[in-house]
Amino acid sequence: MTSDSWLKIIQNARKTAVIEDGKRKVHFLMEDGKEMVEEYSTDTNVVVRRAWKQKNGFGTNIGWMVEVGDPELKQNNIEIYGIEESSNTVFNFLLQPIITRRITKASLEWRIRNLSYPESVYSITAEHDGTMTVRTSNKKYFKKIKIPDLERIGLKPEQERISFRHQYNTLIITYKKPPQLLDVEKKILAAVLQLKTDSKDVQCPTS
C-alpha cells in the first residue's frame, strides 16, 4: 500500500462530521464496508481518538477497536472467557500493562502503563515485519506493537525515529512522524475540515 492508495480510500469514503464537546467527530464509511471514526480536537486539529468497527467472521458487530486514544472500559470477561490478565490491586506490581496511543503534531506516542521495571531494562527496536518490539532484559514484558499509521501508507518503522522514557510506572515511546506521514495527514485534515458540521442531528450511514 502506498500513501496514495490510503488517501484515495479516505477520499472515496462516505464521510459524516459533527462538532461536539470541542471535538470534530468524523465518521468514515469505506467502500469495502469498513467503518472508522476519528475525533479531532478543534483547538489543535490533531486526532485524539480513532476507532474501527470490528466485525467477526460472520459479519456481526463485536464492538469498536480503539486505535488511538483511551481504550473503552472493558467489562469483566473472566466469566465469559475464563482467563484474563491478573488485575490484583492488592499487589500493585501485578497490575497488567495497558497500552494507549496518542498522536501529537510531530510524533506518534505510546504509553504503556503499569510497567514498574526500571528504565534500564527496556529496549525498543524497529523490526523488519513492520512492528516495533518492546523487550525487557528481565524477560518480564514483551510486546510487538503495530504501527497502523505507517502500515497504511506503506512505510516501515525506522530505528532512529524511536525514543522512549520511563516515569511514573509508565513507559512512553515516541516515534517521530516521517515527512510522508505528515503530508498524508495534512491532506486528510484538509478533506475533513471541508465537511459540513452545522447540523446537530446527523445519522451516519452504516452500509
Residues making contact with another protein (CB under 8 A) = 56-59, 78-79, 81-88, 94, 96, 135-136, 139-144
How far apart are CB 162 and another protein at their closest, in Å? Answer: 18
How far apart are CB 174 and another protein at their closest, in Å? Answer: 22
Nearer to another protein, 7 or 117 (CB): 117
d(CA 16, CA 193): 11
Virtual CA dihedral for 205, 202, 104, 149, nearest 10 degrees? 0
Nearer to another protein, 23 or 143 (CB): 143
Nearer to another protein, 57 or 179 (CB): 57
Nearer to another protein, 140 or 196 (CB): 140
Angle at alpha carbon of residue 147, lines to 4 and 179, rounded to 5°: 50
Query: In this structure, are strands 122-126 and 131-136 parallel, antiparallel, or unpaired?
Result: antiparallel
How far apart are CB 127 and another protein at their closest, in Å? Answer: 11
How far apart are CB 153 and another protein at their closest, in Å? Answer: 23
Residues in the chain: 207
Contacts of 184 (CB under 8 A, 6+ apart): 3, 6, 7, 153
